[in-house]
Structure 1
Amino acid sequence: MSATSEGQDRRSPVLSLAPGAVRGALRTADGVLIEAVYEPCTADFGRDSAAGRGTAIVVAHGFSGSVERPAVRRAAQVFLRRAAVVTFSFRGHGRSGGRSTVGDREVLDLAAVVEWARSFGHERVVTVGFSMGGSVVLRHAALHKERPGSRTDAVVAVSAPARWYYRGTAPMRRLHWIVTRPVGRLVGRYGFRTRIHSRDWDPVPLSPVESVPLIAPTPLLVVHGDRDAYFPLDHPRMLAAAGPAELWLEPGMGHAENAADEALLARIGDWLAAR
């Protein structure tokens, strides 16, 4: 693992980072290099420097996202007013290595990032994931609950699917075409800058809804918009019913980080900081 301190990424005019930011290159348990960025909390704690080290929020983006995407940066900037923030690019996305497995081995990416966040001395590390990232934070919370270095202290899943292979909406049928067809994967690579693995899942990973009962007693919040074009409301309701969870159904909201406005992000940040 390597890291360098940067307040501004000179390679990209888009990625403007908070003072004291640290860029890392993290190696996962299966050997994939993941790009990540740590940013200290921007709130003024006066002389109480320990207060700023209390919580770190790890942000897991949706399919075709990355550290540099505007919606990810907007979420990070809202969360930074409440806690330190770590953003990263899943495998196959951005400058990370490997190829996307669309929610399976991405759990290893998140585990490496959470462990890195803990290395900055935070008392609590919490996770928030959007869409594909929402499925990953749920599975990670279940599978790493007993691992002190990589576990999470609270979880928020936004616009997450409850079950695999869902094709009930037109956007999800298009996504399955991109993921499962050779021509679709070319579209993903060059149209969405996402490199997708060509192999099918074997074995099929634990689903998000199967993960939820394993997360307790870690606090869990499920957030979903009532205008989500990808996953209808039976998905969040299934997740919330599967185990102890708080459910927010957001009127007028669409899908994932692109649809999460500043007011909602602020409420999520407050919920995470208080748990």
Structure 2
Amino acid sequence: MPTSLTPLDQLPIRILTPEDLIACADLSENRGWLREEHKWNLLLTAGTGYGIDDPDGKGLVAASVVTSYGPELAAIGMVLVADRYARRGVGRRLMRHVLSEMGDTPLTLHATPNGKPLYEQLGFVQSGRAEMLRGQFTGAVAAPDVATRAATADDLQTILALDTEIFGLDRTPMLTRLPAFADQLRVAEADGEVIGFAAAWPNMDTHVIGPLIARDTATAQALVASLAAATDRPLRTDIDVRHETLIGWLKANGLGPIAFNAVMVRSVPDLPGDWSRRFAPLTVAAG
């Protein structure tokens, strides 16, 4: 068994399982992030986690999760290194292992300003930006009159088909978890056709809105407003900065800016799909 005398570059990297949920949440808390156990559980069950155990038995040294969408794209998220091991090359080693495991598969991730230099050194390039917003939705500026309703089981195949068209790849293994993962899942309709969908899922004291897939900005606004109407919690979401009208409307309704993340890709020039109808990810950790 490794001990505290084991060189960091020799500590074994292993696959994480849902049984590592608490250790992952502890690692998040150690680095000043929210524990986000609900999100960790989704990522560890729908994706593949990689971790390094502390040789002194103090939880995890580092962790990350990969969500695969087949041979054309995988998303890397939740890259964390315990504070006591920071700036000692552990994050780089874990990332190199993940890159080796993924082979030629194109990759994407959302990078904080602190993490971006490392990812650039590993071959990632910035392809876009997302703005994180958080706040109590006021409804002061009304949404356009677009019909929305709660999604039903009969909508699932339609949602999957629409998402594949707009996201550009099949996310069935992830999206079929939405009804259980999210507190709300709603669709927007026009002339009897589903033209968008969105979910609100619990994350600590907030509801995160994502994914947000819509025909246009008006539809996205209507979906957000309908989700907000059914919760007293603050909302949080990450919006592609090219959607300036939606961001302005959200800010006018009480959501304030928290941070910007760089959307980065590797081995592909840009993300697949139609960004003009893709407003927010399910979570930045899963792309």
Please, what TM-score do these two structures have when normalized by structure 2? 0.27
Larger relative contact order, structure 1 or 2 (CA cutoff 8 Å, min sep 6)? 2
Q: Which of these two proteins has the greater Rg computed from alpha carbons?
A: 2
More strand as a share of residues:
2
TM-score, structure 1 length as denominator?
Answer: 0.28
